[in-house]
Structure 1
Amino acid sequence: MHSSRTKELILASSSPRRKELLQGLNLNFKTHPSREDESVPAGTKPKEMVEMLALRKAKSVSSHYDNGLIIGSDTIVVFGDEVLGKPQDEKDAYSMLAKLQGKQHMVFTGVAIVAARNGHAIGEPIDQEGTSDNIIYLGNTGQYRILSESTNGNPEIMVGHTVSKVTFRPLSENEIKRYIETGEPLDKAGAYGVQGIGAVLIEKIEGDFYSVMGLPLNILYLMLQKFGIDPFEVNTK
């Protein structure tokens, strides 16, 4: 494993939730929000969508750094065949929550790490789809893989995703309206936040709680190790 100690760690996000989660690993990092377009081709599968957007965010921020590791992440809520992003307004938030109440939905969260040098993502591309030898699984919760590597075989671009199931308890019309009045749903995929008062809407979560919050720490930890960063080593110094 090669060392990335001299590389700056950058979180390509303005999300206070992702910042808080990454701080939990006791790593030194800075935040640099990505302004990339988040549109994807029609028919893109949810797992491909979150990986694509996480990678796009990380790559866009990499252009601002000469030597760094950039972390990108993206989360979507999927109900049936419908992808629920951030609501456009309170009416849209109500529509989303009315669909989710009393039912189960899926939460997909993608994460990518890109090594930057001289304002560019570096590394030689390898199998984009990943082979059974290249994909590393974390039980039934998630997976990650190397997309490109340096000439000496070290990973330079990695991407992965997790899948969680969330079940809402039945909600009254009044509960939905009162929750929307808090303002919490308006900047969150699916119009709810599991880490805030929105937690009272949820009956159960099957999968990774932190992925539902917006950053899959389980996958990210394993990916960081591939880049030579171990939070446990940092904590002992």
Structure 2
Amino acid sequence: MTLILASRSASRRTLLREAGISFEARAADVDEAATKARHDGDPASLALRLAEEKALSLDVPGALIIGGDQVLEFEGRAYDKPRSGEEAIRRLVMMGGHTHYLRSGLVLAQDGQIVWRHAGSAAMTMRPLTQSEATAYLDAAGEGVLATVGAYELEGLGARLFERVEGDYFTILGLALLPLLEELRRRDALPW
């Protein structure tokens, strides 16, 4: 069975590849800004909606198409990826000493229909951060963290920003891998 990841995300591609899953990656054709503008639900439902739209944007008969997205929720508000280093620093300082949530949506689509959905969540409690600490972190981690919704990578230097993390590690990285593997096995899309 053909498996397609509807994403440009390097981390999602890496997670699937390292789990030994054979797949193709194709960019989803979704206007995320428009979806966010017309969405009137909570950040968790937004993540699931974006995942659905990504999966449904590709039309490959018979293929299982994986759509995934992640939304950062802080004090009830959804945040996009920071547009600049300055915005990332402000956000890190603002979230310092508080808990924010990574809400993820993951779906499988086949022949234009969503055939499976999974919503995940992780609670991320940051230690208090000064502006100079956030700046030092961003300087050390590099501009690549601006491609993440939280402006950090927990699997690297970003771990130093946190006091406590509650939730599935793979959900934090942007793809709830264990539930996906279970569903792929259930569908005989994986040999074991």
CA contact (8 A) 1:184 1:193 kept: no
Alpha-carbon distance in 2 for matches of 1:185, 1:223 = 30
Alpha-carbon distance in 1 for matches of 2:152, 2:67 = 21
Bigger RCO of structures 1 and 2 (CA < 8 A, at least 6 apart): 1
Alpha-carbon distance in 2 for matches of 1:33, 1:91 = 28
Q: Matched residue of 2:78: which SS?
A: strand
Deviation at 1:185, TM superposition (A): 2.5
User: Once the two structures are superposed, what CA deviation does each residue of 1:164-205 show, in whole Å capped at 9, x if it has no partner?
Assistant: 101111222212112223213311112222123212212221
Q: Matched residue of 1:74: which SS?
A: strand
Deviation at 1:69, TM superposition (A): 0.8
TM-score by length of 1: 0.74
Query: Aligned residue for 1:58?
Result: 55
Alpha-carbon distance in 1 for matches of 2:12, 2:110 = 19
| One-letter code aligned to 1:27 | I
Deviation at 1:42, TM superposition (A): 4.2
Query: Aligned residue for 1:95?
Result: 90
- 2:183 is aligned with 1:218: no
- 2:18 is aligned with 1:24: yes
Unaligned ranges ≥5, structure 2: none
Query: Aligned residue for 1:178?
Result: 136
Deviation at 1:82, TM superposition (A): 1.4
CA contact (8 A) 1:109 1:215 kept: yes
1:197 to 1:184, Cα distance in 2 relative to 1, 3 A: farther
Matches within 5 A, 1:4-19: 7-19=1-13
- 2:30 is aligned with 1:36: yes
Q: Which runs of 4+ in 1 moved over 3 A?
A: none
Unaligned ranges ≥5, structure 1: 1-6, 123-146, 148-156
Alpha-carbon distance in 1 for matches of 2:39, 2:19 = 36
Q: Which of these two proteins has the greater Rg computed from alpha carbons? A: 1
CA contact (8 A) 2:93 2:128 kept: no
1:204 to 157, 164, 182: 164
- 2:166 is aligned with 1:169: no
TM-score by length of 2: 0.90
Deviation at 1:223, TM superposition (A): 2.3
Tell me how many residue pairs correspond in the alignment.
187
User: Once the two structures are superposed, what CA deviation does each residue of 1:113-147 show, in whole Å capped at 9, x if it has no partner?
Assistant: 0113xxxx15xxxxxxxxxxxxxxxxxxxxxxxx5
- 2:77 is aligned with 1:82: yes
Alpha-carbon distance in 2 for matches of 1:88, 1:47 = 22
CA contact (8 A) 1:93 1:191 kept: yes
User: Once the two structures are superposed, what CA deviation does each residue of 1:1-56 show, in whole Å capped at 9, x if it has no partner?
Assistant: xxxxxx21111111111111112321111111113111232431122111111011
